[in-house]
Chains A and B, each alone.
Chain A
Amino acid sequence: GENVEQHPSTLSVQEGDSAVIKCTYSDSASNYFPWYKQELGKRPQLIIDIRSNVGEKKDQRIAVTLNKTAKHFSLHITETQPEDSAVYFCAPILTGTASKLTFGTGTRLQVTL
């Protein structure tokens, strides 16, 4: 099965700074790369995703970049705000197969004022 690691496990930034979270995976066949955000006491929700035919995708203050050769993808958050404080999970997968979805270990982001 897919081995998925995230770094760092915790990240503290000041409001307005940028944050970068990296997800490393083992299955070179993976072709879909989502990021989920879980606020305290809430359920995880998809915030951005990318497919393997694209190197970067941006949505306002968040972006995802993919390096298929090195088997990692990253979540970038610019101009961080307190509401960005949450745990972020990656979950790479090969689409079109009956494959379970393995989440990364999670990164706790704390945005301080």
Chain B
Amino acid sequence: GAGVSQSPSNKVTEKGKDVELRCDPISGHTALYWYRQSLGQGLEFLIYFQGNSAPDKSGLPSDRFSAERTGGSVSTLTIQRTQQEDSAVYLCASSRANVLTFGAGSRLTVL
């Protein structure tokens, strides 16, 4: 596609439920990032995929968070047993030559 696509755009869930957020990067972009942005805050790094290399998971806040990237393309961020503090916008970005193109984000609200 022409840009980075994320789904769902909005997700409201109950505390304790699992959620999956999807990112479809720009074709040909080998690097893919996930960031979390709480209201009025900065961009918190979560995880980074680069080609076939092992992902850099150093930003995942707890073992409830995991992500995978299948076939070097689509990525899924999974949050298990969601907590209220997980409420935020989750931004995905893909990169070519270190220039990041962001998706519109998935807004997660945990009640």
Contacts and interface: CB of A to CB of B under 8 A. Distances in A.
Give chain A's interface residue range (CB within 8 Å of chain B): 20 to 34
Contacts, number: 50
B50 interface: yes
B42 A89 contact: yes
A1 B45 CA distance: 12
Q: Which of A36, A100, A103, A104 gathers the greatest number of chain B CB atoms within 10 Å? A: A100
B33 A43 contact: no
A29 interface: no
Nearest to A4: B42
Interface string A68-98: 0000000000000000000001010101001
Chain A interface mostly helix, strand, loop or mixed?
loop
Contact of B42 (A46, A93, A103): A103
Interface string B47-91: 010100100101100000000000000000000000000000001
Contact of A100 (B56, B97, B105): B56
A102 interface: yes
Interface residues of B, number: 22
A98 B95 CA distance: 12
Nearest to B4: A43
A93 B56 contact: no
A43 B42 contact: no
Nearest to A103: B43
29 contacts: A32-B98, A34-B98, A34-B99, A43-B102, A43-B103, A43-B104, A44-B43, A44-B91, A44-B100, A46-B99, A46-B100, A89-B42, A89-B43, A91-B100, A93-B98, A95-B98, A98-B48, A98-B50, A98-B53, A98-B56, A100-B45, A100-B58, A101-B45, A101-B95, A102-B45, A103-B35, A104-B42, A106-B42, A106-B43
Interface of B: 33, 35, 41-43, 45, 48, 50, 53, 56, 58-59, 91, 95, 97-100, 102-105
